[in-house]
Structure 1
Amino acid sequence: MKKYAIGVDNGGTVSKAAVFDMEGNEIAVVSRQTPLITSRPGYNERDMEELWLNNCICIKEAIKKSKIPPSDIIGLSVCGHGKGLYLWGKDERPAYKGIVSTDNRAWQYPKKWTSDGTLEKIYPKICQKLIPSQQAALLAWFKDNERDVYHNIKWVFSVKDYIRFRLTGEAYCEATDISGSGLMNVKNACFDKDILENLGIEEIYDKLAPIKYSYENCGKITREAAELTGLLEGTPVLGGMFDIDACAIAMAVTEPEQLCTITGTWSINEFISPEPITGTAISMNSLYAIPGYYLLEECSPTSAGNMDWFINNFMENEKIPPGKDLYTYINELVSSVKPEECDVYYLPFLYGSNRHSLAKGSFIGLTTYHTKAHMLRAIYEGVAFSHKYHIEKLLSARKPPESIRMAGGAVNSEVWVKIFADVLGYPIETVTGVKELGALGCAMATAVGAGVYKDYKEAAENMVCVNNPVLPDKINSEIYEKKYKKYTAITDALESLWDSFTI
Structure 2
Amino acid sequence: MQHYFLGIDNGGTVAKAALFDETGAEIAIASETVPFSAPKPGFAERDMLELWQANCRIIREVLQKSRIPSKLIAGVACTGHGKGLYLWGKNERPAYPGIVSTDTRAWEYPLRWEKDGTAQTVYAKTFQKILACQPVSLVAWLKDHASEVIERTKWVFEAKDYVRFMLTGEAYAEITDYSGSGLLNIRDRSFDSALLEAYGLGDLYDKLPPLVHSTDLCGKISASAAQATGLVEGTPVAGGMFDIDACAVASGVIDEQYFCVVAGTWSINEYLSRRPVTDGNIMMNSLFCMPEYYLIEESSPTSAGNYEWFINFFLDKEKNEAAEAGLSIFEFAERMARHIAPEDCDLVFLPFLFGSNYNPEARACFAGFSARHTRAHMIRAVLEGIVFSHKTHIDKLLATRTPPLAVRLTGGAARSREWVQMFADVIGLPVETVLASEPGALGCAMSAAVASGTYRDLREAAAHMVKLGSRFEPDSAKAGMYLKKYKLYKDIADSLDHSWKGFSPQTPSTELPS
Q: Secondary structure at the match of 1:496?
A: helix
Which residue pairs with 1:215 in the alignment?
215
In structure 2, distance between residues paired with 1:316 and 1:38: 26
- Identify which of 383, 400, 407 aligns with 1:404: 407
Using the TM superposition, name which of 257-266 and 493-502 deviates more.
Answer: 493-502
Amino acid at match of 2:399: S
In structure 2, distance between residues paired with 1:381 and 1:200: 43
Which residue pairs with 1:469 in the alignment?
471
Which residue pairs with 2:243 in the alignment?
243
Give the gaps of 5 or more residues in structure 1.
Answer: none
Report Cα offsets for 1:80-128 as digits up to 9, x if no partner. 0111111111221112221111111111111111121111111010010
Give the gaps of 5 or more residues in structure 2.
Answer: 506-514
Using the TM superposition, name which of 44-53 and 11-20 deviates more.
Answer: 44-53
Query: Are the aligned partners of 1:426 and 1:472 in contact in 2 as well (CA < 8 Å)?
Result: yes
| Structure 1 residues 152 and 317: alpha-carbon distance in aligned structure 2, compared to 1, 3 A threshold | farther
- Identify which of 390, 396, 399 aligns with 1:387: 390
Which residue pairs with 1:172 in the alignment?
172
User: How far off its partner does 1:45 sit?
Assistant: 1.9
Report Cα offsets for 1:56-91 as digits up to 9, x if no partner. 111111111111111100010000011111111122
Report Cα offsets for 1:442-491 as digits up to 9, x if no partner. 11101111121111111111111222311111222221111111111111
Report Cα offsets for 1:270-304 as digits up to 9, x if no partner. 00111111014111111000111110001111111
In structure 1, distance between residues paired with 2:373 and 2:36: 32
1:178-197 pair list within 5 angstroms: 178-197=178-197
Which residue pairs with 1:253 in the alignment?
253
Which residue pairs with 1:39 in the alignment?
39
Amino acid at match of 2:240: G
Report Cα offsets for 1:118-156 as digits up to 9, x if no partner. 111110100101111100111111111222222221111
**Do residues 479 (structure 1) and 492 (structure 2) align?**
no
In structure 1, distance between residues paired with 2:46 and 2:336: 34
1:90-489 pair list within 5 angstroms: 90-318=90-318, 319-321=320-322, 322=324, 323-432=326-435, 434-489=436-491
User: How far off its partner does 1:192 sit?
Assistant: 1.0
Query: Are the aligned partners of 1:104 and 1:352 in contact in 2 as well (CA < 8 Å)?
Result: no
Which residue pairs with 1:70 in the alignment?
70
Query: Are the aligned partners of 1:281 and 1:396 in contact in 2 as well (CA < 8 Å)?
Result: no
In structure 1, distance between residues paired with 2:193 and 2:261: 34
Using the TM superposition, name which of 366-375 and 108-117 deviates more.
Answer: 366-375
Amino acid at match of 1:324: L
In structure 1, distance between residues paired with 2:62 and 2:129: 39
| Structure 1 residues 407 and 45: alpha-carbon distance in aligned structure 2, compared to 1, 3 A threshold | same
In structure 2, distance between residues paired with 1:333 and 1:38: 35
In structure 1, distance between residues paired with 2:358 and 2:179: 23
- Identify which of 481, 495, 501 aligns with 1:499: 501
Report Cα offsets for 1:224-263 as digits up to 9, x if no partner. 1111111001111110000010010011111112111111
User: How far off its partner does 1:317 sit?
Assistant: 5.0
In structure 1, distance between residues paired with 2:25 and 2:315: 34
In structure 1, distance between residues paired with 2:307 and 2:492: 21
Q: Secondary structure at the match of 1:320?
A: helix
Report Cα offsets for 1:13-50 as digits up to 9, x if no partner. 11110110111111101111101212233222222111
Using the TM superposition, name which of 217-226 and 145-154 deviates more.
Answer: 145-154
Question: For this pair of structures, how many residues does the alignment match?
Answer: 502
User: How far off its partner does 1:2 sit?
Assistant: 1.0
Q: Secondary structure at the match of 2:494?
A: helix
In structure 1, distance between residues paired with 2:208 and 2:464: 36
In structure 1, distance between residues paired with 2:202 and 2:339: 57
Q: Secondary structure at the match of 1:176?
A: helix
In structure 2, distance between residues paired with 1:40 and 1:342: 39
Amino acid at match of 1:482: K
Amino acid at match of 1:61: E
Amino acid at match of 2:321: I
Amino acid at match of 2:340: V
Which residue pairs with 2:508 in the alignment?
none
In structure 2, distance between residues paired with 1:316 and 1:169: 46
Q: Secondary structure at the match of 1:111?
A: helix
Q: Secondary structure at the match of 1:499?
A: helix
In structure 1, distance between residues paired with 2:61 and 2:126: 40
1:77-88 pair list within 5 angstroms: 77-88=77-88
Q: Secondary structure at the match of 2:469?
A: coil
Query: Are the aligned partners of 1:280 and 1:397 in contact in 2 as well (CA < 8 Å)?
Result: no
Amino acid at match of 1:291: P
In structure 1, distance between residues paired with 2:312 and 2:95: 31
Using the TM superposition, name which of 176-185 and 39-48 deviates more.
Answer: 39-48
Q: Secondary structure at the match of 2:392?
A: helix
Q: TM-score, normalised by structure 1?
A: 0.98
In structure 1, distance between residues paired with 2:107 and 2:315: 32
